[in-house]
Amino acid sequence: MNLANKLTLFRVILVPFFIAALMTGIPYGFTVSLVLFALASITDMLDGKVARKYNMITDLGKFLDPLADKVLVAAALICFIELGWTYAWLVWLIMAREFMVSGVRLVAAGSKKKLVIAANIWGKLKTASTMVSICLVLIMHILTGEFGVLTELPVQLITDILMYICTFLTVLSGIIYLYDYREIFKEEEK
C-alpha cells in the first residue's frame, strides 16, 4: 500500500476517535473532535496531492478516497442529528446521494469497460464545503459552549444555513454525476 492510500486509511481510522470525542461528554470533547476532524480533512487534501505528485494514483485509491470521505462525513452528520444540531431529513438527502454515487461506481466497475470513477470537481466541491461546514459548526459550539464566549451567536441559524448549502451542493453534484455517467446504465440494459 502506497503513502497516499495509507493517508486515506488513516482518515478512516480517525473516525471512531472523532465520534468518541464528540459524543462521550469528555472535557473539551468538541475541541478534541474538531482537531480530529480537521486532521482527517487535511489527509483528504494530502492523499490526493501525494498521489498526483509521486504518481501513486491507483484504482484502490480512486475507490478508497471517496469512501473514506463518506465515512467521515456520515459519522459527523449522524452525530449532529443525535446532538440536535441538524435535521435528519437533510442528512438523509446527503446520505442518499452518497449511496447513489457509490452504486454508480459499483455498476461502472462491474461494466464491460471496468471503469473506476474518480471524484469530479462537483464531488470535490461538495466534500470540501461539507467538511468546512462541519468544522464551522464544531467551532461555533466550542466558542459558545465549551469556552462560553460569543454566547449571542445564532448558532442554530448559522448551522441550518450551512447544512442547507451542503445539502444543495450534494444533491446538485449527485444529479451531475448521474448525468455524466448515464451511458453506463444504457450499456447494462443491453
Domains and CATH numbers, the chain: 3-189 (1.20.120.1760)
Coil, strand or helix: which one is 52? helix
**Rounded percentage of the chain residues whose pLDDT exceeds 90:** 67
pLDDT of 188 reads 56
Inter-residue contact 134 to 120 (CB < 8 Å): no
Among the ranges given (69-78, 95-104, 117-126), the one the predictor scored with the smallest mean pLDDT = 117-126
Inter-residue contact 181 to 108 (CB < 8 Å): yes
Supply the mean pLDDT for the chain.
91
Task: Write the single-letter amino acid at 75.
Answer: A
Overall residue count recorded for the chain in this entry: 190
Per-residue model confidence as pLDDT tens digits over 134-160: 999 999 999 998 898 988 899 999 999
The DSSP secondary structure of 80-123, one letter per residue, reads HHHHTSS-HHHHHHHHHHHHHHHHHHHHHHHSTT---PPP-HHH
Q: Which residue has the cell 487534501?
A: 45
In this prediction, residues 78-96 reach a mean pLDDT of 97
Nearest CA to 89 among 172, 179, 160?
Answer: 160
In this prediction, residues 14-29 reach a mean pLDDT of 97
pTM greater than 0.85: yes
Q: Which residue has the cell 470535490?
A: 124
Locate the DSSP E strands across the chain. Answer: none
- What are the grid coordinates assigned to 7, written together? 493517508
pLDDT of 189 reads 59
